Amino acid sequence: MSQVIIASQLDEDFNQVIRERLASLHPQAQVIGVPIGVPSDLPPHANILLLRPINVRGYTAPNTPPPGWPYGAQWVHLVSSGIDFYPQWLFNGPPVTTSRGSAADNLAEFALAAIFAASKHLPDIWVKDSHWNFTPLRPLKGTTLGLFGFGAIGERLAHKAQALGIKVIALRHSQAPFAPGVEAARDIHDLFARADHLVLAAPLNEATRNIVDRDVLAGAKPGLHLINIARGGLLDQEALLEALDNGRIGLASLDVTEPEPLPDGHPLYSHPRVRVSPHTSAISTNSRQEIADTFLANLHRYLRGQALENLVTAPLNSR
């Protein structure tokens, strides 16, 4: 392919990283910045589109594509791992790929940090004066981590947790085998009943929306630490508040909610056993390079007519 023109919704500092990396891969390639949101009026010769999430912070894209879509685009690459942030019509045109796995280590480390914080009472044990009280800290070794979802994030997290002596049990939709040492849960009730810390890392779709409901939470191991780094829609938040109040759930660390952001005054903000972070677990100081790595690896395949990786085949996946 002689001409490569990439229309990118990424910030200019991200675009510059890609330009610098393209210099050796395809020197004639161009990266043109375009506005975020529903793609419209793209440069006529742009054959690749780098797309940011569209349906975010209360905005929902129209049900029909803009006039002229897909313009000259022959391939669309999403800078996110999940696809629930995009309208359905996006997946009915050129091939669409995701950045699945690019932030898996970041997400796994965030979940592990939440587990450390809960077990070691951080930051509550920091002292500011001479009144010291000794607090027994819970060891991680010998505890059980439950994983609801076992994609790239689950694999990375399981590996890191096992290195700390944590037992890992998991539940996934597919029948693919788990990593060595990871035990399969019988079902979601078995998973919640056995875990000390439980991480939600599954796709959000019609089958998984509000799958963590009152019934599931009622059967959780008493004092369970629930961590959600996937999608807020997996969890019935009203049921979570009830389970926190009755003591069945000991702590909830939520990097995702529904909606995002939660409105001011929402009870999850003020509950003493809830930690809310602003959907930041996937973002790192290396995000520019991580996104570039995933995109350029696929560009290498695209230029050689090879099959693309992380191709969207069923538009109801998540990260």
Report which secondary-structure segment, H or E, holds 225: strand 224-228
Report which secondary-structure segment, H or E, holds 23: helix 12-25
How many Å separate Cα 154 from the centre of its chain? 11
Amino acid at the residue 107? L
Q: What does DSSP say about strands 30-33 and 48-51: parallel, antiparallel, or unpaired?
A: unpaired
CA distance 151 to 182: 13
Q: Which residues, including other chains, have CB under 8 Å from residue 153's CB and lie 6 or more apart? A: 104, 107, 108, 111, 201, 229, 319
Tell me which residue of 49, 93, 87 sits closest to 69, measured CA to CA.
93
Which phi and psi angles does 7 have, rounded to 5°? -90, 115
Reduced to 3 states (helix: H, G, I; strand: E, B; else coil), residue 95 is coil
Q: Residue 235 forms beta bridges with which residues?
A: 212
Is the CB of residue 234 less than 8 Å from the CB of residue 207?
Answer: no
Q: Active-site residue numbers?
A: 231, 260, 279
Distances (CA, A) of 3 to 12, 31, 41, 200: 21, 12, 19, 42
CA distance 122 to 137: 10
Distances (CA, A) of 107 to 57, 144, 228, 290: 21, 19, 10, 13
